[in-house]
Structure 1
Amino acid sequence: MHGPGAGPSGWLLVALCTATGAYCLLRMRSRVEEQRRTAGGEALMGFGMAAMAVPAAVLAPPRWAWVVCAAVFGAAALHALWAARSSAHHLHHLVGAFAMVYMAAMMAGGAHAGIPVLTGVLLVYFTAYVLWTGTRLIPVAAADGPAGAPAGGPGAPGWGDRLELARACRLSMGMGMLAMLLTL
């Protein structure tokens, strides 16, 4: 994350987060209401992580840009806190937005080292989240669509409504967050 040795790994993180953010934008057109509700926040997180991961040798934003980033994710954290009333998944959005505010604040202050205890807590949380999300990707009987409809039939979900793709995006963003936190 804007470190001096970001090189190819930084660009891979940028590509992963950008692709994830783009897919989440497409999920906002879903027929499933819960997908639409969470997809916007996840798209913001993906694109925000991509912007923060651009190697500093290519783009070294001024300090005010980090302050703007912290403000945007602070607003996202407040939105996630409000939305957590109806969905526990928004608590994860709250933690993610807080982590983004934290990293942006460190960069705005010119510090490339965070508060060890806070960074450690966030690393433990995102490690647990990645492991938990990864186990939820283990395939189950996927031959049938919803309510026994054949896969690909008229009752089958569209590719933007597929839960396993949303989980894969969440997994990739969790791994990206781990990579970014490790640089603090």
Structure 2
Amino acid sequence: MHGPASSGWLLVALCAATGAYCLARMRSGAEGQRSAAGGEALMGFGMAAMAVPAAVFTPPSWAWPVYAAVFGAAGVHALWAARAGAHHLHHLVGAAAMVYMSLVMAGSPAHAHGRGGSGVPLLTGALLLYFAGYVLLTGVRLVPVAAVAGSGGSAGWGDRPELARACRLSMGIAMVAMLLTL
């Protein structure tokens, strides 16, 4: 998952900032916001940890199965939560992509970060198509966002739909970048 160090650090910063914002969104007054924000925070911090350049830190061999287990549990939670809303299906696909990347990294020889060719091309391609489409759709939806109804323009950080969409857009872009280097 690791390419050049400079782009790796940019990806770490983007994902960590997104994860931090999602933690702030967990303080929202809306239950739906809090629920989605928790999964997105986990995804942001997990992606940040996976994107740390290998020249700086190579995770021990036991870390990849732990990532797979954590995101597998997040996927089960997203599947359960999908009964209430379609957005959780996206969380399920994201968690499945993280499990897939973790398993590929665990199975790669000496954890060959960024050397490519270690994943299943058809599955990697399908995930790339999904996340590229998600990025385009989220980008289009980001443009016309209006102020939160009844907020009088003073919505808290956790209740700003345009920031939540920008957060999701940045994580989608990061996922595309990580899948491209797989």
TM-score by length of 2: 0.92
- 1:183 is matched by which residue type in structure 2? T
Give, in whole Å, the separation in 1 of the partners of 2:152 and 2:56. Answer: 49
Q: Which runs of 5+ in 2 are unaligned?
A: 110-115
Highest Rg: 1 or 2? 1
**Corresponding residue of 1:101:** 99
- Does the Cα contact within 8 Å between 1:35 and 1:161 map onto a contact in 2? yes
- 2:164 is matched by which residue type in structure 1? A
- Does the Cα contact within 8 Å between 1:27 and 1:161 map onto a contact in 2? yes
**Corresponding residue of 2:149:** 146
**Corresponding residue of 1:58:** 56
Query: For 1:105-151, what per-residue CA distance to the aligned partner results, in whole angstroms no more than 9, with x for missing partners?
Result: 00111255210000000000000000000001113554xx514x632
Taking a change above 3 Å as real, the CA distance of residues 140 and 78 of structure 1, as seen in their structure-2 partners, is: closer
% identical aligned pairs:
73
**Corresponding residue of 2:122:** 117
Query: For 1:43-75, what per-residue CA distance to the aligned partner results, in whole angstroms no more than 9, with x for missing partners?
Result: 000000000000000010122100100000000
- Does the Cα contact within 8 Å between 2:78 and 2:89 map onto a contact in 1? yes
- Of 31-40 and 105-114, deviating more is 105-114
SS at match of 1:160: helix
Give, in whole Å, the separation in 2 of the partners of 1:176 and 1:123. Answer: 11
**Corresponding residue of 2:113:** none
- Does the Cα contact within 8 Å between 1:63 and 1:109 map onto a contact in 2? no
Q: How many residues align?
A: 175
**Corresponding residue of 2:112:** none
Higher relative contact order (CA 8 A, sep 6+): 2
Residue 70 of structure 1 is aligned with which of 68, 76, 81? 68
Give, in whole Å, the separation in 2 of the partners of 1:116 and 1:99. Answer: 13
